Amino acid sequence: MNAAPDHLSGVEQSGATDDSLQHVHEHLLHHKPEKPHGYSATPLLLLGLMCTVVFFGSIYLAHYSARFDPLAYNENAKPSSGKIEPPVVTPAMLGRRVYNNTCITCHQTNGQGLAGVYPPLAGSDWAQGSEERIIRIVLHGLNGPLTVSGKEISSAMAPLGTVLKDDQIANALTYVRQEWGNNAPEVKPETVARIRAETASRTQPWTAPELLKLGN
């Protein structure tokens, strides 16, 4: 028997052949660890995913199924040709509310006021005239004699600047300028804001001659 080279001598001595060693190595390499008992992340994740899908699916159905009512839900319905217009709210419509809450007690529903006590806004040359004047009237009030559409009146209107916000004053005046056959341009909240700032130091109500000096 020939002596084996030194580095093989141990293997030779154990009686292992090349083939059996190969077999042992392959076995070791392919050996997988035992499955852990009781817990594995993958099925839990899948379960969670399915719950989420069912959850959002239910929300979707609740919103869009129309309870499967054939009258409400018709999958064959053609989109209607008529356009659906969003409701339009104009400044004058908003102003009507302010007017009905604040101005109506004196100037009345029909804008006619009360003869000798409250001047009319309908057909009024003041109401349809310079916005510089009427904004000041609502902000700080008006005292003393004035002529409205040719008729003299001497009374007093209380200031409303602390009660009403800029847009409420603007909208109310826009309403007054465009109701009862009146026809004058809209009053913008920015204009009220500007005049409020310019007249911030004003504590007394205005008088008609003062306002008439303002021009247009």
Distance (Å, rounded) from C-alpha 207 to C-alpha 155? 11
Task: State CA 140 to chain mean position distance.
Answer: 33
Stretch near ligand HEC under the rule CB under 6 A, chosen from 4-12, 38-46, 149-157, 189-197: 149-157
Tokens 């005292």 correspond to what residue? Answer: 143
Q: 131: which 2 tokens?
A: 């916005």
**Residue 86 or 215 with smaller CB distance to ligand HEC:** 215
Q: Which listed residue (92, 135, 137, 139) binds ligand HEC by CB under 6 A?
A: 137
How many helices (H) and strands (E) the chain has is answered by 9, 3
Stretch near ligand HEC under the rule CB under 6 A, chosen from 8-16, 65-73, 84-92, 135-143: 135-143
Stretch near ligand HEC under the rule CB under 6 A, chosen from 10-18, 23-31, 130-138, 193-201: 130-138
DSSP assignment of 139-175: HH-EEEEEEETTEEEEEEE---TTTS-HHHHHHHHHH
Burial status of residue 3 (CB atoms within 10 A of its CB: 0-12, 13-18, 19 or more): exposed
Minimum distance, C-beta of residue 183 to ligand HEC, in the bound complex (Å): 14
Minimum distance, C-beta of residue 79 to ligand HEC, in the bound complex (Å): 45
Using rule CB under 6 A, residue 127 touches ligand HEC: yes
| Chain residues in the site for ligand HEC (CB under 6 A) | 102-103, 105-107, 118-121, 124, 126-127, 134, 137-138, 142-144, 146, 148, 153-158, 160, 172-173, 176
